[in-house]
């Protein structure tokens, strides 16, 4: 899967702790090569047609919109971000 980051994602990513950034890079590698990798906790968001979430750690998630074979990274942050993906 091809991955592209939105400006919002980049801005949020820059403010993350270094450990979360490291985990994010690892998760994005899995998403790119194997979106069904078990460590991602990959799932479609309830009530959303084409938005998915990926687990970065116990408390951090990222969301993306899938269009064809491209993942457009939308947001990243604590689990609370799932209230407004």
CATH level 2 (architecture), domain 2-83: 2-Layer Sandwich (3.30)
Report how far apart, in Å, the C-alpha atoms of 78 and of each of 1, 2, 68, 70 are.
24, 24, 27, 24
**pLDDT tens across 53-71, in order?**
999 999 999 999 999 999 9
**DSSP sequence for 31-67:** HHH-TT-GGG--EEPTT-SSEEEEESSSSEEEEEEEE
pLDDT at residue 31 above 80? yes
List the domain boundaries for the chain. Answer: 2-83
Cα end-to-end span (Å), the chain: 20
Q: What global pTM score does this model have?
A: 0.87
The 3-state DSSP class for residue 84 equals: coil
Q: What is the pLDDT of residue 49?
A: 84
């Amino acid at each position: 899967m091809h991955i592209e980051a939105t400006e919002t994602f980049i801005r949020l990513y820059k403010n993350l702790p270094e450990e979360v950034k490291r985990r994010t890079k690892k998760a994005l590698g899995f998403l790119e090569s194997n979106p069904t990798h078990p460590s991602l906790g990959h799932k479609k968001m309830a009530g959303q047609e084409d938005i998915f979430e990926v687990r970065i750690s116990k408390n951090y998630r990222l969301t993306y919109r899938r269009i064809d074979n491209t993942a457009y990274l939308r947001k990243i942050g604590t689990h609370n971000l799932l209230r407004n993906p």
